[in-house]
Amino acid sequence: MGAPARQFDAIEANGATRLTPTQLKVLQGVRSGRLNKQIAHDLGIAEATVKAHMTALMRKLNVRNRTQVAVVAQALGYGADAELRQPRIVRLESLQ
């Protein structure tokens, strides 16, 4: 079961919809396979705050679950050792 075939427009080059620095860190943690509790500990924030960031990420990235967030993060070049930066534009169709 693949991701829905729709355009991934959440992050635009002109910065119209950008991720916050904390959302970028949470995105990196998800891509690295870390649990919300582990991400919260790493960032020194509450687990509920990580959950709120995950909800915002799913909305901004136009995906429905954590796995799809991780797939998009991988496509954007995030991983355990990835540099935190604003990602490039990607079409969701290219992730299938």
What digits encode the pLDDT tens for the residues 38-96? 999 999 999 999 999 999 999 988 899 999 998 988 887 765 455 555 555 555 555 55
Q: What CATH number belongs to 21-95? A: 1.10.10.10
d(CA 29, CA 40): 9
Confidence of residue 8 (pLDDT cuts 50, 70, 90): very low
Instruction: Break the chain into its structural domains and give their ranges.
Output: 21-95
What DSSP line would sit under 22-37, residue for residue?
Answer: HHHHHHHHHHTT--HH
Residue 95 is predicted with a pLDDT of: 53
pTM for the model: 0.68
Which single residue is written with the structure tokens 């799809």? Answer: 68
Between residues 27 and 3, the one the model is more confident about: 27
Residues 6+ apart with CB under 8 A from 44: none
- Angle subtended by helix axes 21-31 and 36-43, to nearest 10: 130
